[in-house]
């Protein structure tokens, strides 16, 4: 089975798709329904939909809206934002979502365990936001408002031990920069765990995706690479073609 290439779509409080840069001011990129329809046509592997303000604003997931979005998706859909418990996740799965993504709740091993027990580890992804602090990688919470003393590899191992079936490793410092993933970070975390590690934060072109996979990621994800083009960051929804995907895997087999 070939590694997945996953567009990550960010929702704001007004149900708009936006994109950030280093978790800064969001830029509007489109209507979520239109963007999902375009990705349907491009036959993407999977979509990850994240409500970036839900946890900070203490909002519960908007299940009706999620159901409408899931109905448009012809591919697997994962959702994160405001999910903290089995009670939150149950209607989300009923709405057609295949995986829930835990952000702040990813620090709660009891929440992970409860979700994994009820829905299976394959349905639980923990997103780890990473930032540099005093020259060392640290786990950040609440959209980087809190920087902990925890290192990403240990955090990922604890999440896996609690039942997480996947780690979404997000580099805050490279978010939206399009200069490539931090390969040593990917290598460090992916070596520490047995479950899939999905790299996010920094990709801007096909070569970056290949490099992320070669560094140890089980799958690669990006927002900017699939919504922006050019130096001026013009909005254009895109995704690698079949031939480009083949080149990506050919590069991986060569060891980049």
pLDDT (tens digit, 9 = 90+) per residue, 151-180? 999 999 999 999 999 999 999 999 999 999
**What residues in the chain have per-residue pLDDT under 70?**
1, 251-256
What is the span of the domain harbouring residue 77?
Answer: 5-253
d(CA 198, CA 10) in angstroms, rounded, equals 17
Q: What is the reported pTM?
A: 0.95
> Which candidate in 45, 129, 175, 182 is catalytic?
129
Nearest one of 172, 230, 226, 220 to 30, comparing CA atoms: 226
Counted domains in the chain? 1
What pLDDT is stored for residue 246 in this prediction?
81
What pLDDT is stored for residue 144 in this prediction?
86
d(CA 197, CA 164) in angstroms, rounded, equals 11
What pLDDT is stored for residue 242 in this prediction?
86
Q: What is the CATH number of the domain that holds 19?
A: 3.20.20.70
What pLDDT is stored for residue 145 in this prediction?
87
Segment 4-28, tens digit of pLDDT: 999 999 999 999 999 999 999 999 9
214 three-state secondary structure: helix
Residue 37 neighbours by CB under 8 Å, 6+ apart: 72
Nearest one of 139, 144, 147 to 185, comparing CA atoms: 139
d(CA 120, CA 110) in angstroms, rounded, equals 14
Q: Is 175 a catalytic residue?
A: no
What pLDDT is stored for residue 138 in this prediction?
97
């Amino acid at each position: 089975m070939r590694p997945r290439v996953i567009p990550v779509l960010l929702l704001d409080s007004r149900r708009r798709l936006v994109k950030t840069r280093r978790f800064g001011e969001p830029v509007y990129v489109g209507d979520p329904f239109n963007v999902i329809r375009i990705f349907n046509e491009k036959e993407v592997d999977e979509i990850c939909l994240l409500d970036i303000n839900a946890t900070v604003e203490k909002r519960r997931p908007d299940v009706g809206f999620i159901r409408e979005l899931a109905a448009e998706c012809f591919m697997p859909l994962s959702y994160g934002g405001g999910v903290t418990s089995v009670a939150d996740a149950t209607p989300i799965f009923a709405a057609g979502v295949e995986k829930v993504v835990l952000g702040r709740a990813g620090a709660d091993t009891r929440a992970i365990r409860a979700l994994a027990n009820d829905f299976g580890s394959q349905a639980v992804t923990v997103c780890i936001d990473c930032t540099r602090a005093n020259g060392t990688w640290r786990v950040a919470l609440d959209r980087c408002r809190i920087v902990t003393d925890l290192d990403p590899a240990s955090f990922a191992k604890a999440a896996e031990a609690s039942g997480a079936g996947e780690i979404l490793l997000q580099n805050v410092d490279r978010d939206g920069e399009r200069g490539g993933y931090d390969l040593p970070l990917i290598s460090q975390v992916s070596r520490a765990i047995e479950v899939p590690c999905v790299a996010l934060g920094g990709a801007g072109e096909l070569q970056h995706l290949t490099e992320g996979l070669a560094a140890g990621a089980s799958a690669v994800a990006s927002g900017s690479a699939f919504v922006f083009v050019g130096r001026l960051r013009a909005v254009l929804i895109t995704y690698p073609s079949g031939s480009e995907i083949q080149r990506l895997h050919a590069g991986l087999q060569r060891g980049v």
